[in-house]
Amino acid sequence: MFRRLGAAVVGHPRRVIGAWVVASVAILALSPQLVTFTSNNNSTFLPASYGSVQAQTAAVRYFPSVAGASGVIVVSAADGRALTGGDQEKVAGLATALAGDRIGSVSSVSTSPIYLSPDKRVQLVAVAFAGQVGEAGSNAAVPVLRERADSFLSGSGLNGAVTGNAAISVDSTTAFDHAEVVIGIATVLLIVILLGLVFRSLVISIFPIVVIGAVHQVAQAVTADLADWFHFVVGPELAPLLVVVMFGVGTDYIVFLLYRHRERCAAGDDPDDSLRFSVTRVGEVIASAAATVIAAFAALLVASLESLRTLAPGLIVGVLLMLLAALTLVPATFSLLGSRLFWPTMPKPHDPIHRTRSERIGSMVARHPVLMLAAWSAVLVGLTFGALGYTTTYNQLAELPSSTQAQRAFDTMASAFSPGYLGPTDVFVTSDTTAPLDASTISELETRLRHVDGVSVVASARFTADRGQALIEVLLVHDPYSVTAVNGVAGPIRSAAVGSVPGATVLIGGTSAQLADVRVALKHDMERIVPLALAIVAVILALLLRALVAPLYLLAGVVLSVTATLGIITLVFIHGLGFAGLDFTIPIVVYLFVMAIGTDYNILVASRLREEFDAGKSPREASRLAVVHGAPAVSAAALILAGTFASLMLTGIQLLEEIGLAVALGVLLAANVLATRIVPTLAALRGWHFWWPHRRHARAAATRSELLEPDALDPVAASEG
């Protein structure tokens, strides 16, 4: 199949390029913007069966004033002094003025003496929004509130900053948008520089950026179409992740093709003949690598947490389009460029006198496989122990850059009030019959809640007109985004409330309750996604390598690489930088990205191993040659891919920083430890057993080679001897 594809693409390059141009222009012209379908509201990502979602439904139906997004304007004196009576009147005037402005999607603005801190340094203005967190209306209202609050307080010596879940949503979206720009610039510069250094070609250093950039725009448009057709939203993390994934794997595939193309051109092949051969040989590797990545991302489709499930379509579309481009658009363009592709240098045969790094590694693999396997396995196992200190955080606010207004306002508020003011926990009580709720029973519930550890304030219950429903607002001692608050709501508060009112249903809502349900959903998803992704990748590897044992070795190594990666980032971020914990999504994200993308390098080396083994080489010689020919491409591709993910560390967003370092390190481990050292040594030691059920003639050929060529392990060493 790949032979026919290579012949068709190289034979008709202009038709292939023209088809891509026409299709891309049409898609971009007719598709909506992806940002239209982006949200970071946790409640929209949870299934309706979870209690916090049911609580939100009850709020919308019975208590609409607390059902929407919330905001808090934190007012303090610029010099940190206590607020005077005149200052307090100014704050009251601010609330009145903002309420009178009738800002779109703002349903109420209010303050009172109870919003004045005990030390009188801070006063709060509560803002209620008609829309939900992340909706266009509340998003648009936040900057208007900020601008008008600044204008009203100008010259008064007072500062006002807006926080709350609506403001956090806006600042989060802005931070991720900025991150996408930073990542894009850093990625482009990195790829241009590294490709220029590796291939010493101006054309090659620029070409991937142009191609991948165009395909990336098409992928965003197609993802937006899917979101529109199937009515789903995506999280703000998709856009920056799509950049690094597409530029990373896209560069990988182009580098794989370039190395084989350059190897054949250096051997004297005509450029078109070389391209046809390269697409035939490397096309299967690229297709298998892409299928592995797609399969791993497709496993996200079974997630119950929609923020994970909706990552899948965009990432799958991005990788699939890059696969199509790598097998058609890229070789077609190479064909038109001919030998000019390598300008200003030309491919030259390797000088056998000077041993390359890959030749030295290949020699070590063939000569000392037991030592190599033991040493590098010990490295991965040792790094894995670092994960023993792993802890989780759900603090989305703290993960934002410290310069965001929502974070600065929260810090000011937390210095004078209980941090729980940022997000109350709502306890909804609904009568199961037409009878009204018993006031004394609700009062008893309030008393129980007041005695729960971690509760700061319990407000008196509010009832609906028919007294069939009640709302009790609970303010926590701790930041509602903290693990302590999440544990408190999921444990003591829920135990004290649920089932405590006979003849009524009690539901817990609010930020902490949503995060508690997210934690449960994520654990459930991990239990399904991890084995499913592993099984799918195993099948793909078995089909590619035509073996059942080799894929098991590869997957065991990949899992060890994942645990080692978690160990490293635990040591770096928690023990080194003092983070409270790693983002709760990190384990599943690292597992999928390192397993899927890191397996690309195993596929390239393992397929070359199989090629040399089938050609009759002894196991050790096949391993040596696989490293000699595969390691340069793997190392170069991994360095570029790791660099693209490392660009996430420039964003100032803790989640992206953690993902960036984790995937960058995981990729480097997969390429430089697993693919080029551990896998070849296993193949050298296990021989034909590595390829079971192998083809009989391959075993016989390998046996004859071992008997007749005892010095084939290292031709250079043999010649020196």
CATH number where 423 lies: 3.30.70.60
Q: Give tens-digit pLDDT for 104-128.
A: 899 999 998 889 999 999 999 999 9
Q: Are residues 455 and 471 in the same domain?
A: yes
**Residues 533, 57 contacting (CB under 8 angstroms):** no
Q: Are residues 523 and 512 in the same domain?
A: no
User: Could you give the 3-state DSSP secondary structure of residue 430?
Assistant: strand
Buried b (16+ CB within 10 A) or exposed e, 380-408: beebbebbeebebbbbbbbbbeeebbbbb
User: How confident is the prediction for the chain on average, in pLDDT?
Assistant: 86
Q: Are residues 705 and 624 in the same domain?
A: yes
User: Could you give the 3-state DSSP secondary structure of residue 40?
Assistant: coil
Among residues 170, 191, 223, the one where a domain terminates is: 170
Which range marks the domain in which residue 581 is found? 373-394+519-715
Among residues 286, 320, 352, the one where a domain terminates is: 352
Residue at 48 is within a domain:
no
Q: Are residues 625 and 541 in the same domain?
A: yes
Q: Are residues 308 and 244 in the same domain?
A: yes
Please compute the mean of the pLDDT values over residues 86-100 and round it to a whole number. Answer: 94
Give the Cα separation of 128 and 145 in Å (integer): 12
User: Could you give the 3-state DSSP secondary structure of residue 396?
Assistant: coil
Tokens of 256: 């794989």
715 pLDDT higher than 50: no
Which amino acid type is present at position 276?
R
630 pLDDT higher than 70: yes
337 to 85, 206, 213, 330: CA distances (angstroms)? 77, 13, 19, 11
DSSP letters for 595-645: HHHHHHHHHHHHHHHHHHHHTT--HHHHHHHHHHHHHHHHHHHHHHHHHHH
Shortest CA distance to 127 belongs to which of 169, 165, 70? 70
Return the percentage of the chain with pLDDT > 90, whole number. 36
What is the pLDDT at residue 401?
78
Residue at 348 is within a domain:
yes
Q: Are residues 507 and 577 in the same domain?
A: no
Please compute the mean of the pLDDT values over residues 468-492 and round it to a whole number. Answer: 92
Which amino acid type is present at position 97?
A
Q: Are residues 229 and 275 in the same domain?
A: yes
Give the Cα separation of 283 and 294 in Å (integer): 16
Among residues 483, 516, 549, the one where a domain terminates is: 516
CATH number where 282 lies: 1.20.1640.10
DSSP letters for 366-381: HH-HHHHHHHHHHHHH
**Residues 55, 426 contacting (CB under 8 angstroms):** yes
Q: Regarding beta strands 455-458 and 469-476, do their DSSP bridges make them parallel or antiparallel, or are they unpaired?
A: antiparallel
pLDDT band at 583 (very low <50, low <70, confident <90, very high): confident
**Residues 427, 494 contacting (CB under 8 angstroms):** no
Instruction: To the nearest 10°, report the CA torsion of 13, 14, 20, 24.
Output: 150
Give the Cα separation of 667 and 378 in Å (integer): 18
586 pLDDT higher than 80: yes
Please compute the mean of the pLDDT values over residues 239-250 and round it to a whole number. Answer: 86
Give the Cα separation of 151 and 318 in Å (integer): 45
Residue at 721 is within a domain:
no
Q: What domain count does the chain have?
A: 4
pTM over 0.85: no
